[in-house]
Structure 1
Amino acid sequence: MQVSSSFAIRPARRAALSVMAALAVALAGCASPPTHGPSTSNATPELSTQTTHAYHGRFAIRYVDQYGQQRNAYGNFDWQQQGETVTLQLLNPFGQTLAIVTSSPASASLEMPNRQPVTADNVSELMQHTLGFALPIEGLRYWLESSPAPTSRAKTIVDPAQTSRLKEIDQEGWTIEYLAYADAPATGVKRLDLTRQDPPLDIKLVLDR
């Protein structure tokens, strides 16, 4: 991976880690494992790559840093998606920007307050090097809409209480649990948890739309 910037990546990482580590409480709560039988498919995309989406909400992340220490970060997020380009803004609970991540098929960039942008070919590696954790942005483009990504096979579990909704997706090493959907007349996902075992990463998202 080629990362370019006018400042060294290690100081940026340390600065980011110090900011994120100061946010010390993750959202609590887990759902009981679903019992409805799973299905496996070649993830046919329901979403057009030209779709525009915007999400606003809260996040909590639990991850292991480069020294093997467990860290927690939480705050608010703003997600803007135009086709295959995603701009994700992470904010602390007081509304101050922690980082702005932009991902497109050609490149990725990450901005932090009072620092020059860092660019790279791969958004996951860029976030990992700079923030200490990487969000699965490519998968989230679909998972936020309760749909498997079209890039690989996925196992899906339907919500037994409402078969038009998914309860779980297992794909690319991630387990995505849909814990709540918006009440009518609103539509869409309200709350979802994402977990990965290796390297360990837990993400909790609440969407305010």
Structure 2
Amino acid sequence: MQAKKMIVAALSAALLAGCASVSQQPVADYRDSFDAVGRLSVNYRKDGNPESLTGKFNWSQTPGRIDVSLSSPMATIAKISITPESATLVQADKAPRVAKDIDTLTAQELGWSLPVSGLKDWLQGYATGADGKRFAASPARNTVTTNDGWRLRFVSWQDENAARPVPKRIDAERNASATADELAIRIVIDPQG
């Protein structure tokens, strides 16, 4: 009887360890090229007043280019193209704006800075931590502060039990500093069919 209890205890421990290892698996492998669609909400301050924006996004990334389209339920808010040489922002009824730095360009034109350099990693469940090391999220290890001051929380996953899960919801917050305003972005990535 005692041997039977020990076997049951050992099997239970093995099963629990197996379950824990699945939830500890990092996200799917990083891809240089990928597409994502989803929704986002942004809370920011403009001229000292709280502002918010809710809309949809389309993201297309290849090794030398990122294209982002932001839209509200009524219309396209902006189309953004980023290459290693420049960033271009196109808004309805406005001439295209070109700059070297997309973060500064979106802050000037949209009133908030779209953190494109971070998003290309975040949308896939990766980030560069405050310690400068590569962070790979998992359902069990889902928060990190980045080297540029963003607090990320990978809130939910497309399939939490997958061997290599893919993010579904990401909350990103940045406190106000001498160079940037307070900003909070909630991203929900739709499943790719």
TM normalised by structure 2 equals 0.73
When Rg is computed on C-alpha atoms for both structures, the one with the higher figure is 2
Which segments of 5 or more consecutive residues in structure 2 lack a partner in the other structure? 1-28
**Residue deviations 1:76-132, cap 9 Å, x none?**
1101101142111000024x2110111122100100112221101110110011110
Shift of 1:154: 4.9
Cα distance change of structure 1 residues 110 and 151 upon mapping to structure 2, 3 Å threshold: farther
- SS of the equivalent of 1:80 reads strand
Cα distance change of structure 1 residues 53 and 178 upon mapping to structure 2, 3 Å threshold: same
Q: Does 1:87 align with 2:70?
A: no
Within 5 Å, give how 1:116-195 maps onto structure 2: 116-149=95-128, 153-154=132-133, 162-163=139-140, 166-171=141-146, 172-183=148-159, 187-195=165-173
Cα distance change of structure 1 residues 154 and 135 upon mapping to structure 2, 3 Å threshold: farther
Which segments of 5 or more consecutive residues in structure 1 lack a partner in the other structure? 1-45
Moved over 3 A (4+): 149-152, 154-159, 184-187
Q: Does 1:68 align with 2:44?
A: no
**Residue deviations 1:29-61, cap 9 Å, x none?**
xxxxxxxxxxxxxxxxx636xx11111000000
Give percent identity, aligned residues only.
24
CA contact (8 A) 1:154 1:169 kept: no
Instruction: Specify which of 53, 58, 61 is matched with residue 34 of structure 2.
Output: 53
Give the distance between the partners of 1:169 and 1:150, measured in 2 at CA.
Answer: 6
Give the distance between the partners of 1:152 and 1:90, measured in 2 at CA.
Answer: 32
TM normalised by structure 1 equals 0.67
**Residue deviations 1:58-78, cap 9 Å, x none?**
00000000x200000001110
- SS of the equivalent of 2:126 reads coil
Q: Indicate the RMSD between aligned Cα atoms, in angstroms.
A: 2.5
CA contact (8 A) 2:127 2:136 kept: no
Give the distance between the partners of 2:129 and 2:145, measured in 1 at CA.
Answer: 13
More helix by percentage = 2
Cα distance change of structure 1 residues 93 and 150 upon mapping to structure 2, 3 Å threshold: same
Cα distance change of structure 1 residues 63 and 86 upon mapping to structure 2, 3 Å threshold: same
Give the distance between the partners of 1:174 and 1:68, measured in 2 at CA.
Answer: 20
Give the distance between the partners of 2:117 and 2:130, measured in 1 at CA.
Answer: 9
